[in-house]
């Protein structure tokens, strides 16, 4: 296959690019490096089956490909709130451009959506049938509503133009190649612990998340792409749930850090609970996560030790 990965220089994208190359595909990595990093894929440049294209998906592009993984978008609150209008453009105009490309060349396209489409959920755990509880005018809405509209565009192109699509709702994912300034909870806690800084807990730390290791997520994405006549949406994530306090204490234990826990006000529209219902992924894709939190955190901690020059 000739496969396009938008956002291929990012955290999830760079791992996906490597896995696709391992399988023998020709891979086009498209990224404007707004949040992605060349360091994530620079060692791949000599590979004749790898091609790097510096481009913003907000602008149209003409390519010949068999599959498209549309991962292009800032994914952490720190990054997507930095330029919210740009985030909306990436989600809407970028998705339109990739759908237009898929329609023109007859490619199957996978949209990387997010658990954020469920907002601060009133149903727990969250099944794909749940429509969500989202603030359309809050600080997070550029991402939340942008991804919801991207899903709308995917389904409309499928119904109106018979474009071969798949929508995947990604829950919290972590692992090596996360940016040091990512701003998400796993990287925040690990960096703070390794530097001996206080770990910042928002609210009382009772809010929950479910953490999926990157290798599991990549296998899920590829399983969704390979599933014929499967449009989704489908949840991909680890259904094992942890409070922020539990995560913080596990990071402290694994790093051997003497950092303290400090508490700060809860950010606007921060979800109280987040846990995927993954029955559909198990039944239709044959996928479920295999890496537990301790194993994944150990690998992630080792990566950040090296990034910080502490190994």
258 burial level (CB within 10 Å; 0-12, 13-18, 19+) = exposed
3-class DSSP state for residue 140?
coil
Give the residue from 18, 308, 20, 45 showing the smallest Cα distance to 179.
308
List Cβ neighbours of 156 (8 Å cut-off, separation of 6 or more): none
The two tokens of residue 21 are 């190359």
CA-to-CA distance for 311 and 298, rounded, in angstroms? 13
Q: How far apart (Å, rounded) are the C-alpha atoms in residues 217 and 118?
A: 19
**Residue 213 is among the residues annotated as catalytic for this protein:** no
The answer to whether 140 and 77 have CB atoms below 8 angstroms apart is yes
Contacts of 230 (CB under 8 A, 6+ apart): 166, 224, 284, 285
Q: Which of 69, 80, 118, 143 is catalytic?
A: 143
Catalytic residues: 143
């Amino acid at each position: 296959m000739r496969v396009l990965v938008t956002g291929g220089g990012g955290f999830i994208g760079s791992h996906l690019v490597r896995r696709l190359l391992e399988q023998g595909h020709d891979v086009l990595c498209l990224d404007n490096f707004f949040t992605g990093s060349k360091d994530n894929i620079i060692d791949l440049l000599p590979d004749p089956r790898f091609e790097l294209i510096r481009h913003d998906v907000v602008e149209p592009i003409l390519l010949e490909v068999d599959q498209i993984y549309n991962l292009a978008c800032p994914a952490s609150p720190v990054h997507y709130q930095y330029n919210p209008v740009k985030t909306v453009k990436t989600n809407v105009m970028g998705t339109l451009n990739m759908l237009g490309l898929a329609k023109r060349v007859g490619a199957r396209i996978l949209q990387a959506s997010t658990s954020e489409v469920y907002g601060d959920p009133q149903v727990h755990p969250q099944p794909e049938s749940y429509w969500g509880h989202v603030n359309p005018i809050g600080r997070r809405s550029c991402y939340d509503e942008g991804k919801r509209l991207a899903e709308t565009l995917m389904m409309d192109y499928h119904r109106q133009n018979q474009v071969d699509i798949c929508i995947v709702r990604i829950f919290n994912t972590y692992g090596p190649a996360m940016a040091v300034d990512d701003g998400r909870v796993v990287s925040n806690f690990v960096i703070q612990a390794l530097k001996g800084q206080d770990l910042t807990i928002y609210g009382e730390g009772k809010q929950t998340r479910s953490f999926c290791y990157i290798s599991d997520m990549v296998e899920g994405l590829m399983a969704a792409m390979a599933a014929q006549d499967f449009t989704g949406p489908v949840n991909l994530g680890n259904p094992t749930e942890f409070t922020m306090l539990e995560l913080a204490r596990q990071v402290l234990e694994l790093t051997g850090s003497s950092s303290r826990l400090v508490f700060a006000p809860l950010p606007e529209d921060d979800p109280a609970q987040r846990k995927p219902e993954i029955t559909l992924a198990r039944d239709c894709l044959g996928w479920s996560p295999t890496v537990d939190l301790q194993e994944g955190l150990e690998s992630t901690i080792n990566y950040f030790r090296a990034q910080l020059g502490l190994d």
